[in-house]
Amino acid sequence: MNVRKIARRAQAGFTLIELMIVVAIIGILAAVALPAYQDYTIRAKVTEALTQASAAKLAVAETAQALGGLAQVTATNSGYSFTASNASNAYVASVAIAAGGEITVVTKNTGATTQPSFKMTPTQPTANDQITWACTLAAGEAKHLPASCRGAAAPAAGG
């Protein structure tokens, strides 16, 4: 009889308390990981917008070179037009060039509470110098911008 009692004790499984502790730990880890993952997916979608803006940046650079500087760049003479299409740019609502070559990019369907948008402002000391771009937050949260824009992001009003 003693052998049977010892065998039964050796086959004992986890206690209810042990299982509850493991479930609690998994719940805490999931609560921390889920928001980080959601921010990561939003940032990946916003990065597509940065890629879509590269064509507008090229149009600004070519127009500035052809006309003698950024001051001459307008939406009309840049020749750039953004076509919203669900197939090729599912997360970009608009890319627009303003006077002076400033580019405004607005996103869509990213999953963020406020759709992120950002401005890319060109600077060129003289007509023969290289154009440099500064990226700043226009709407949404700075954590949703790509890393190349996040460091220079201006604080959002009200958010």
Domain boundaries, the chain: 2-150
- Smallest CA-to-CA distance from 96 within 73, 115, 110, 80 is with 80
CA distances to 60, 64, 68, 71 from 75, rounded to whole Å, are 9, 12, 16, 12
Name which CATH class applies to 2-150.
Answer: alpha beta
pLDDT of amino acid 112: 87
Rounded-to-integer distance, Cα 46 and Cα 142, Å = 11
Are the C-beta atoms of 119 and 135 separated by less than 8 Å? Answer: yes
- Smallest CA-to-CA distance from 69 within 22, 115, 125, 120 is with 125
What are all long-range contacts of 31-38, with beta carbons under 8 Å and residues at least 24 apart?
38/111
Two tokens at 35? Answer: 């928001």
Instruction: Please give the angle made by the CA atoms of 81, 96 and 144, to the nearest 5 degrees.
Output: 125
Alpha carbon 26 to chain centroid distance? 28
Are the C-beta atoms of 46 and 122 separated by less than 8 Å? Answer: no
Rounded-to-integer distance, Cα 80 and Cα 13, Å = 68
pTM score of the predicted model: 0.73
pLDDT of amino acid 1: 54
Kindly give the confidence (pLDDT) of every residue in the chain, 159 residues in length, as a single tens digit, with 9 standing for 90 and above. 555 555 555 666 888 899 999 999 999 999 988 888 888 888 888 888 888 888 889 999 988 888 888 888 888 888 888 877 655 678 888 888 988 889 999 988 888 888 998 999 999 888 788 889 998 888 888 888 888 787 644 444 443
Report the C-alpha dihedral over residues 85, 87, 89, 90, rounded to 10 degrees: 100
pLDDT of amino acid 151: 63
